[in-house]
Every structure is written in structure tokens, then in C-alpha cells.
């Protein structure tokens, strides 16, 4: 949940640009600038996310379930174990 949340922050400038109030709230507490991670591989992003204490972002993670949508391409298969 923590890593998924951090990944959504990293993609505020990505495929569908968005402004997120969570980013403004938790961004200054993170040891990295999330949009700079958007073009890194998943494993590189995960290494950055592991530096964050889950308690730091817990107040900002959604209480409801989160839905993920993948493109129907073979490359998306590698993401399925993480959802």
C-alpha cells in the first residue's frame, strides 16, 4: 500500500498529469522528489520507496480500496504480482 501510494505521487507528471493534495502534504517529508522518479524502472523506484517509513505516508494513503488498470500488453504481466 505504501509503495503503491508513493508510485502514484511519482507519476503526477506522467501519462495523465494531475495535481494531488497528498503530494503537497507529504512531499516535503520524503527523501526524494517524486516526479524525478517517473522515468526510472520499477526496481529503481522501489529502492527509493524503501527509504520511506510507512508511518510517514500512512495518514495520506486512501482508506478505501485502490483500483489499478494495466494496459493489455505482454509487458504489463510483470506488474501483476505487485497488485
The reply to whether 74 falls in a domain is: no
Structural domain for 51, as ranges:
2-64
Please say if the pLDDT value at position 8 is more than 70: yes
Asked whether the CA dihedral 15, 9, 33, 21 is positive or negative, the reply is positive
The reply to whether 7 falls in a domain is: yes
The reply to whether 72 falls in a domain is: no
pLDDT digits (tens, 9 = 90+) for 54-65: 999 888 887 766
- Distance of alpha carbon 43 from alpha carbon 55, whole angstroms: 22
- Distance of alpha carbon 43 from alpha carbon 77, whole angstroms: 15
Does the pTM exceed 0.95?
Answer: no
The reply to whether 51 falls in a domain is: yes
**Of 4, 12, 83, 3, the residue nearest 51 (C-alpha):** 3
The reply to whether 55 falls in a domain is: yes
The reply to whether 24 falls in a domain is: yes
pLDDT at position 77 is 84
E strand or H helix at 42, and its extent? helix 42-49
The reply to whether 14 falls in a domain is: yes
Number of domains in the chain: 1
C-alpha cell at 11: 507519476
The reply to whether 79 falls in a domain is: no
Amino acid at each position: 500500500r505504501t509503495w503503491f501510494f508513493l508510485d502514484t505521487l511519482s507519476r503526477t507528471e506522467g501519462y495523465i498529469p494531475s495535481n494531488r493534495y497528498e503530494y503537497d502534504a507529504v512531499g516535503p517529508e520524503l527523501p526524494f522528489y517524486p516526479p524525478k522518479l517517473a522515468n526510472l524502472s520499477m526496481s529503481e523506484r522501489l529502492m527509493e520507496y524503501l527509504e520511506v517509513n510507512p508511518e510517514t505516508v500512512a495518514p495520506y494513503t486512501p482508506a478505501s480500496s485502490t483500483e489499478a488498470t494495466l494496459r493489455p500488453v505482454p509487458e504489463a504481466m510483470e506488474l501483476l504480482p505487485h497488485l
